[in-house]
Amino acid sequence: MIATPDMARGAMPLTHERCSIIKVNGDYLDLRTKNTLEELAEYAPALRKLLDQVFEDYGLIVSGWSGESDLGLCSIIEGVRGRRFATYWAVHSKAGETAQRLITHRDAVSYGPIDADTLFHGLAERVALMASADRAKAPPPEVQVSLLKRFLAVGNPQLQAHDLVMKEAERVYARASALLSTPIPSGGLDQRIREYEAAGCPLASMMALTAYWGGASFTTLLSKAVQRAARQPLPHPVPSPMRLALYPALMSFYAAGLSAMARDD
């Protein structure tokens, strides 16, 4: 933890620390804590040097800060011209004039409205779930389902669930299209069916979850997802083996329908 100029001067380089907490306005146990506008207008050289490094060398996630009273901190941020990583700025309701100025200066991605608990709990959950996932592949189904559960429970479920479900529907379309254009494998139709099932299972799980917990308000989303997954470039008339390309979409259709019936409201 770094809370005073003395700590900043004696601290290990940030790159050698697993985790550092910088209390930019001091700690309540120290009488040098900054409180008034005059105190917040300027920082000691050692602390300013450290903050310059943080804002230049690291990405930022900002949550719950308006910047209105922290004149010195705003000045440091605006004084850093180079930056190596992105800035994400989560707003609780609406960014004020100062925050918007800093968002523009940092070319930040503005996110929200969202509260800090929802933001950081959700971020921690995603990092933990995806830690073992192969980054070259799509997120594993359990990650997708876990995120969808959270979206349906908090925040703006219509918007967040829409993006997640439709992105998976797009993946199903791409997987099915790729299988459609490749010859039947040596294992025959049984193997090709298993390949289509593997392609469609994540979306079917998400559709079942959305239909049960989202209810009638998500009917349009479910319909769009099925239509997107089923929109395969099939010839007319369609040869029997090629009809399997519609199997993932059919799985999703039945998953949503059965879950809606189970909801029974």
Instruction: Kindly report, residue by residue over 72-91, the tens digit of the pLDDT.
Output: 999 999 998 777 889 999 98
126's tokens: 């995603």
Q: Which residue has the tokens 């993006």?
A: 163
Enter the pTM of the model: 0.49
* Structure confidence by residue, pLDDT tens digits, 231-246: 887 766 767 778 888 9
Structure confidence at residue 175 (pLDDT): 87
33's tokens: 């804590």
Instruction: Tell me how crowded residue 186 is: count the other CB atoms within 10 A of its CB.
Output: 6
Element counts in the chain: helices (H) and strands (E): 11, 3
Structure confidence at residue 164 (pLDDT): 82
Burial (CB count <10 Å: 0-12, 13-18, 19+), residue 85: exposed
